[in-house]
Amino acid sequence: MGRGKPASSRNYLPQSGSDEYSVTEYDLDLRYRVATNRLDATATVRGRANTLLRSIRLDLVRLKAKRVKLAGDTAAKYSQTATHLVVRPSAPIEPGEDFTVEIAYDGSPAPRRTRWGTLGWEELEDGVLVASQPSGAPTWFPCNDRPADKARYRIRVTTEQAYTVLATGQLVDHTVTGGRGSWTFEQDEPTATYLVTVQLGRYTLEPRRSAGVDWVIAYPAPLARQVLHDLEPVGRMLGVFQELFGPYPFRSYAVVVTEDPLEIPLESQGMATFGPNQLDGHRTEERLVAHELAHQWFGNSVGLAGWHDIWLNEGFACYAEWLWAERSVGPTADALARQHHAGLRAAPQNLILGDPGADRMFDDRVYKRGACLLHDVRLTLGDDAFFTLLRAWTHRFAHRTATTADFRALAQSFTDASLDALFDRWLAQAALPPLPPAA
């Protein structure tokens, strides 16, 4: 049921990642000094060949490999460019065969410059932030950087004792020795590289439990009043979103508020990161709090098979903003859909939602058009079928990857009337389709 260009022509990051192998687990041991921005690390990458594998190409940017070992192959060689580490086994690895590569590496991590801005490991005034979407993960660990390659993670971070570390996964160990703290996290749910993060700062941790979900707020103590006020709705959001979308897909949720202002909030697996400029003490940006939480279902649990389907992340999270408004004190989702549809009518009509292109994959029209598409589906199916569809989507593809074709097929199963014309006009045409009348 897919439409548009062949998948092979829609690889927005052709230099990132490889489909010749899949990673099953990353084990990262990161030793970091805040004062000097110095990282000494070891990464153990366990994977499996998908084809006859003559080399293992890992994405790694700026950091220098010091020692590389391929388990069971003492004659393996390696080489490195500015963006990749290539390991060459002495004999090809057969399809289906497992392999383990251990890489010792070091350097001064920094964001990489891309068409979407700077991405990856970033120094704050007093700490670290990692925001990798879509291609920043190689700035801090060697990886197969493609969204469809989800893996398990173990992340150990050792740094100055004064700092609190939050990272992807559950905290399983914390020790302090000689003025340095070590924090170990384990993430069993399959996770895309761009959603793996480390946040490091002088944070106060405030644990909460709402709607059966453990969650925590991490924030600089001077920001307590505004942060705790603006994040109070998260508990109620967890209840509403579980009703609408199904059970929260991870074991916990963390909201990190940095001391430094951020251009936009950042989602990662089981976590969201905000700047103080987004939490001003007046809940001015409450929609963004809802948006980042919704990504835990849409984008993080149900992941992307390819970046051309980015509307499956952003359209759903944007529509969740409207649903939260509808369920709290704001206008209805229908009113918001029509308001934003009017704004889209005034914008250039030159974006194909189903294949926006790399330059426009984070264009705000992807977010709003995607949400309007979902509202059209809701009006067409009716509320009962539509919300059953959303819960079926998050259940069927939990901790997996999915495509637009998958969503079209699932939606079609809820009605005898063809939905092809609806999806085609939203996904394959540049002209903005009209919204149907309100039910």
What is the tens place of the pLDDT at every residue in 31-53?
Answer: 999 999 999 999 999 999 999 99
Three-state SS for 393-412 is HHHHCCCEEECHHHHHHHHH
Whole-angstrom distance, CA of residue 148 vs CA of residue 410: 20
Question: Cβ distance 381 to 389 under 8 Å?
Answer: yes
For residue range 160-204, list pLDDT tens digits in order: 999 999 999 999 999 999 999 999 999 999 999 999 999 999 999
Q: In the predicted model, is pLDDT for residue 5 greater than 80?
A: no
- 3-state SS, residue 206: strand
Average pLDDT value for residue range 248-277: 97
Domain 204-296 in the same topology as domain 21-109+132-196: no
For residue range 206-247, list pLDDT tens digits in order: 999 999 999 999 999 999 999 999 999 999 999 999 999 999
Question: Cβ distance 102 to 47 under 8 Å?
Answer: no
Whole-angstrom distance, CA of residue 318 vs CA of residue 315: 5
Whole-angstrom distance, CA of residue 229 vs CA of residue 114: 35
For residue range 60-90, list pLDDT tens digits in order: 999 999 999 999 999 999 999 999 999 999 9
Architecture of domain 304-427: Orthogonal Bundle (1.10)
Burial of 39 (0-12, 13-18, 19+ CB in 10 A): buried
- 3-state SS, residue 231: coil
pLDDT at 91: 98
For residue range 403-414, list pLDDT tens digits in order: 999 999 999 999
Tell me which of 5 and 437 has the higher pLDDT: 437
Per domain, the residue ranges of the chain are 21-109+132-196, 204-296, 304-427
Would you tell me how many other CB atoms lie within 10 Å of the CB of residue 228?
A: 15
Q: In the predicted model, is pLDDT for residue 8 greater than 80?
A: no
For residue range 198-207, list pLDDT tens digits in order: 999 999 999 9
Question: Cβ distance 176 to 167 under 8 Å?
Answer: no
Residue 71's identity, in one-letter code, is A
For residue range 86-128, list pLDDT tens digits in order: 999 999 999 999 999 999 999 999 999 999 999 999 999 999 9
Architecture of domain 204-296: 2-Layer Sandwich (3.30)
Burial of 130 (0-12, 13-18, 19+ CB in 10 A): buried
Residue with tokens 């991490």: 218
CATH topology (fold) of 21-109+132-196? Immunoglobulin-like (2.60.40)
State the average pLDDT for the chain. Answer: 96
Burial of 115 (0-12, 13-18, 19+ CB in 10 A): exposed
Q: In the predicted model, is pLDDT for residue 329 greater than 90?
A: no
Residues contacting 434, CB < 8 A, separation 6+: none
pLDDT at 191: 98
pLDDT level of residue 439 (50, 70, 90 thresholds): confident
Q: Which helix (H) or strand (E) holds 187?
A: strand 180-191
Question: Cβ distance 109 to 79 under 8 Å?
Answer: no
Q: How much of the chain, in percent, has pLDDT values that exceed 70?
A: 98
pLDDT at 4: 33
pLDDT at 2: 34
pLDDT at 10: 78
DSSP conformational letter for 216: E
Question: Cβ distance 287 to 249 under 8 Å?
Answer: no
